[in-house]
């Protein structure tokens, strides 16, 4: 059994809840975190290693080029 840390995030990616639980393996921990998250993004950590994240990078919209006034 290993201890895993769950980080439940807001939709903007900031952490809203951090908790720890003991599970048999990473798959069991990910399943538990999925149920706990209630559809919000989350991460599962095993010590210093992130074993799962549902966070995705927000696509960056390029800014229009600045042009001098006519």
Question: φ, ψ for residue 31 (rounded to 5)?
Answer: -60, -45
Let me know if residue 43 belongs to a domain: yes
Let me know if residue 35 belongs to a domain: yes
**What is the domain range of residue 16?**
2-53
Chain segment 4-61, per-residue pLDDT in tens: 999 999 888 789 999 999 999 999 999 999 999 998 999 999 999 999 999 875 555 5
Let me know if residue 34 belongs to a domain: yes
Let me know if residue 62 belongs to a domain: no
Let me know if residue 61 belongs to a domain: no
Q: What is the pLDDT of residue 58?
A: 54
Q: What is the pLDDT of residue 12?
A: 81
> Structure pTM?
0.75
Sorted by sequence, the CB contacts under 8 Å of residue 9 that are 6+ apart come out as 15, 16, 40, 41, 42, 43, 55
Let me know if residue 13 belongs to a domain: yes
- Total domains present in the chain: 1
Other beta carbons less than 10 A from residue 15's beta carbon: 12
């Amino acid at each position: 059994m290993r201890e895993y840390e769950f980080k439940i995030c807001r939709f903007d990616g900031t952490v809203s809840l951090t908790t720890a639980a003991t599970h048999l393996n990473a798959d069991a921990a990910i399943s538990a975190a999925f149920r706990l998250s209630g559809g919000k993004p989350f991460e599962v950590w095993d010590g210093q290693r992130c074993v799962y994240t549902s966070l995705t990078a927000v696509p960056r919209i390029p800014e229009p080029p600045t042009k001098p006034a006519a």
